[in-house]
Each structure stands twice: as C-alpha cells, then as structure tokens.
Amino acid sequence: MRIYQAETYQAMSRRAANIISAQVIYKPDCVLGLATGGTPVGTYQQLVEWFQKGDLSFAEVRSVNLDEYLGLSPHHEQSYRYFMQTNLFDHIDIKPENTHVLNGLAKDPAVECAAYNKLIRDLGGIDLQLLGMGRNGHIAFNEPGDDFGLETHLVSLTENTIEANARFFASRDEVPRHALSMGIKNIMNARRILIVVNGEEKAEAVYQAFCGPVTKQVPASVLQLHPDVTLVGDKAALHKLA
Ligand code: F6R
C-alpha cells in the first residue's frame, strides 16, 4: 500500500486528483469508480480546473458511482446523482451516457442491483476506484458487520451514518434510511483503489482499518488484502499511523 500524507485538505485533494488524472491520461477510456461525500469535493474541483485549462479530457471515460440513497430522485439536491452532476459531470466533457449512478427510484431494488453488477462487468471492470471512509470504517455504504462477499445490494443505514450524513439535510428525519450500494466484492475487484481521508474525526477509523486486524467490524480493513491501494490523507486523519 502507498500512503501519501498531505499538509492540508487542498494538498490532499491535488494529490488525489493527480492520481486520477494519471489514470485518465494513461488509459483515456478507463472506467472510474467514483464516490460522493465531503472528502472528494476538493479532488473534483481540481480535476475540473485541469480540464478547464485543457490539461485533461474525460471524453472517453466511463464512470460508475458507489452508491445512491433509496427513495431520492436524481434531481433531489441530496441525491448522489445530483452531487456528481454539480460537483463534476456538468463541468467536464464526460459523455452523460457514460456516467452511471444507481437509480434511487428503482421499483425493484434487487433488479437494479443485479443490473448494476452486470453493467460493471460489461464495462470490463473498474480501473480505479475512488473511496472515502466513514467514521465507523464504512466504505460505500458497507457498514460494520456486512459480508465481504456482497456485490451491489440494498442497505439499511446505521445510526452512525445517518447522524454523519444529517449535516447535508434540513433535518435528521429527512436522511433516507436505506441506500443501494456496491458491495465489498465490487470494490475489491477494482484494479486499483484510491482512498481519501481528511480530518481528525477519521483518524481512529484510519488506524483501525490499516493497523488493526482485517474484520467485518471495520469494512475498510478489507483493503489490506487488495494488491494496489493508495491512501491519501491529511495530517489530522493519518497521524495515528506514525
Ligand atoms: C460516498 C460513500 C461514503 C463516503 C463516506 C465518507 O459515495 O460511499 O462511504 O465516502 O461516508 O463521507 P465524507 O467524505 O462525507 O466524510
């Protein structure tokens, strides 16, 4: 595993964007696995800036997102589709038809999940998967205790995650209780993984994930078993690794 410790959130974001842009330059039609949440916002801003400067093109890139809230339409401001449009897709030259986010309004979640697994396979698998990490060690919406063998599935969010995500909603009650999420198996099948973490509130989870045992209680700990993981974080998040 490679670890890059950056001084600041901005430096962390630039480093993560560097790794993504290297992937896109090396393989212009690559499949990027993308994440939402607060952590990657700066990374996406940096990619947009390089695109606007003419240093980078996403014209052939295909993307698959990790997860989506169940019950939110793509136009809902807290949906992950909306997040991706406003933070990245609307500002770069990626083709809309090449961007894939699970449908939060799917009538039959099981059918939607199975179709998403097939889609990932049909795309040839994920070249580079970007991840954030929850304070309880979750990756995508794979919560503590979830099976490592799962592919895309319907998830009940834990109280911890509902609490953490309430900051994006008008009230805690508005946070959806369910989501559709890639499983650990989809993530582990990605050829490369880039995980970004910032802030003291992530320090303990980072320590547990990378210095503790591989356990379902800390979903991100499974990444210790992946052959190509890069961890990029700021000092506050990484200080317990020293
Ligand atoms: C988002 C996702 C989540 C977040 C995690 C960290 O697509 O899958 O696992 O990466 O909850 O979120 P932030 O970055 O907001 O701390």
User: 39: Cβ below 6 Å to ligand 1?
Assistant: yes
User: 220: Cβ below 6 Å to ligand 1?
Assistant: no
The DSSP bridge partners found for residue 196 are 232
How do the domains of the chain map onto residue ranges? 2-183+198-241
Alpha carbon of 122 to ligand 1 centroid (Å): 26
* Mean predicted confidence (pLDDT) in 33-45: 97
* Mean predicted confidence (pLDDT) in 26-35: 98
Query: With bands split at pLDDT 50, 70 and 90, how would you rate the model's confidence at 226?
Result: very high
Helical spans, DSSP H, in 123-202: 159-165, 184-188
H or E stretch covering 23: helix 9-26
d(CA 145, CA 25): 38
Q: Which regions of 23-66 does DSSP assign to beta strands (E)?
A: 31-34, 62-65
What is the position in ligand 1's atom list of the atom closest to the CA of 202?
Answer: 16
3 state DSSP class of 64: strand
Dmax (CA) of the chain? 48
Q: Tokens in use for 101?
A: 């986010």
Alpha carbon of 130 to ligand 1 centroid (Å): 10
d(CA 88, CA 96): 11
Alpha carbon of 36 to ligand 1 centroid (Å): 6
User: 67: Cβ below 6 Å to ligand 1?
Assistant: yes
Catalytic residue positions? Answer: 67, 136, 138, 143
Min mean pLDDT across 6-20, 109-123, 154-168, 207-221 is at 154-168
* Mean predicted confidence (pLDDT) in 43-68: 98
Alpha carbon of 233 to ligand 1 centroid (Å): 14
Q: Provide the pLDDT for residue 121.
A: 98
Query: With bands split at pLDDT 50, 70 and 90, how would you rate the model's confidence at 160?
Result: confident
What percentage of residues in the chain have a pLDDT greater than 70?
A: 100
For residue 242, pLDDT over 80 is answered with no
Residue 152: what residue type? Answer: T
The CATH code of domain 2-183+198-241 reads 3.40.50.1360
The DSSP bridge partners found for residue 142 are 139
On average, the pLDDT of the chain sits at: 97
The DSSP bridge partners found for residue 2 are 230
Q: Provide the pLDDT for residue 161.
A: 86
Q: Which residues contact 151 (CB under 8 A, 6 or more apart)?
A: 113, 117, 182, 183, 185, 186
pLDDT in tens, 57-88: 999 999 999 999 999 999 999 999 999 999 99
User: 36: Cβ below 6 Å to ligand 1?
Assistant: yes
What is the position in ligand 1's atom list of the atom closest to the CA of 139?
Answer: 9
Contact between residue 126 and residue 31 where contact means Cβ atoms under 8 Å apart: yes
For residue 164, pLDDT over 90 is answered with no
For ligand 1, atom 12: residue with the closest CA:
37
d(CA 40, CA 17): 9
| Confidence check on the interface: ipTM exceeds 0.90, yes or no | yes
CA geometry: angle 184, 60, 10, nearest 5 deg? 65
The DSSP bridge partners found for residue 231 are 3, 195
Q: pTM here?
A: 0.97
Residue 174: what residue type? Answer: E
pLDDT in tens, 109-149: 999 999 999 999 999 999 999 999 999 999 999 999 999 99
Contact between residue 179 and residue 215 where contact means Cβ atoms under 8 Å apart: no
